[in-house]
Amino acid sequence: MPSPTAGTPHPPAFGPLPVRRAVLLCGLTLAFALGALPDARAASLDEIKARGSMTVATEDSYKPFEYVENGMPMGLDHALLAILRKDAPFKIEQQIIPWSGLLAGVAAGKYDVALTAAVITPDRTKSLDFTMPIAESTQYYAVRADEARIKTVTDLAGKTAGVQAGGASFTALADLTRTLEAAGLKLGPVVQYTSYPEAYQDLANGRLDYVVNAAVNLASLVREQPKRFRMGEAVGVPAYAAWAVAKGNTALLDYLDAFMVRVRADGTLYALQEKWLGTTFKAMPDQPTR
């Protein structure tokens, strides 16, 4: 993989961060990342029932929640979707797409549900409503297995980070910045990626010093490649992942929450968490929190 090329910086609210891989986002996606979507209308639950179908969007490369292996969709979200399909009074059509347009597409009404492990953040709640959480999703960092310079969070100062463009890992850099500044240190360069496999490859090749992602995702990475990667400490505040619908789509949100209540009550969610995530989160809040 070639080295990252210089791109236009996308400075976050907490300070300038150089972006050294060009990330191509459509205007709608970029507007969503900045918390300013144009007015749009998503289909209500009654309209979905009337037309006989609901369209859900899932990511194509977010292991262990959603990914494609040998042409088959895999992961926790796909397992939950299979159960949701059995009882739904309408057909559920699935679009497996890259992360960059997923949440913006739901907020704009292109898709009915972001059936993805989207981390709940304050910016995202401006345009989306979230279901009950499906997993904890606190952001951690990972380094190469043989990395001797980085042992604690403060050792990340000045090092090059890899995050997902518009993702919770990018948002978590605000927390990391505050932690480092409290110790008189500064955040180093940041490279944004459209998908995590690219970031992991650049980490392995030494183009990055660390990658930020949710604890569950990094734990899965380390389990599969223990000789290449090592997981570090939390860089962000406690966070949770959930499905999302367009802001104000209350009836559809209630329908999905009723499903979440059922799979929690009968233990299905926790069994699937154990299978796909390697752990369970039985103490999750009933309501979205961030």
The predicted-structure confidence for 133-189, as pLDDT tens digits, reads as follows: 999 999 999 999 999 999 999 999 999 999 998 888 998 999 999 999 999 999 999
What's the pLDDT score for residue 167? 84
Comma-separated ranges of CATH 3.40.190.10 domains in the chain: 45-136+242-277, 138-234
What's the pLDDT score for residue 99? 85
Element (H, E) at 213: strand 210-214
Classified by CATH at the fold level, domain 45-136+242-277 comes out as D-Maltodextrin-Binding Protein; domain 2 (3.40.190)
What's the pLDDT score for residue 34? 33
| pLDDT value at 8 more than 50 | no
pLDDT band at 75 (very low <50, low <70, confident <90, very high): very high
pLDDT band at 275 (very low <50, low <70, confident <90, very high): very high
Spatial distance between the Cα atoms of 174 and 159, rounded to a whole number of angstroms: 15
- Describe the strand order of the beta sheet including 72-74 as a list of residue ranges: 61-62, 66-69, 72-74
pLDDT band at 289 (very low <50, low <70, confident <90, very high): low
Q: How far, rounded to the nearest angstrom, does the alpha carbon of residue 73 sit from its chain's CA centroid?
A: 17
pLDDT band at 109 (very low <50, low <70, confident <90, very high): very high
pLDDT over 70 for what percent of the chain?
A: 85
Ranges of H-type helices in the chain:
27-33, 45-51, 76-87, 102-107, 168-182, 196-204, 215-224, 250-265, 268-277
Q: Which amino acid is at 94?
A: Q
| pLDDT value at 27 more than 80 | no
| pLDDT value at 20 more than 80 | no
| pLDDT value at 232 more than 50 | yes
**What letter would DSSP give residue 241?**
E
Taking residues 259-273, report their average pLDDT: 97
Pairing mode of beta strands 190-193, 72-74: unpaired
For domain 138-234, the CATH class is alpha beta
- Write the DSSP assignment of 80-141 as a string of letters: HHHHHHHH-SSEEEEEEE-GGGHHHHHHTTSSSEEEEEEEP-TTGGGTEEE-S-SEE--EEE
Mean model confidence pLDDT for the chain = 86
pLDDT tens digits for range 187-212 = 999 999 988 999 999 999 999 999 99
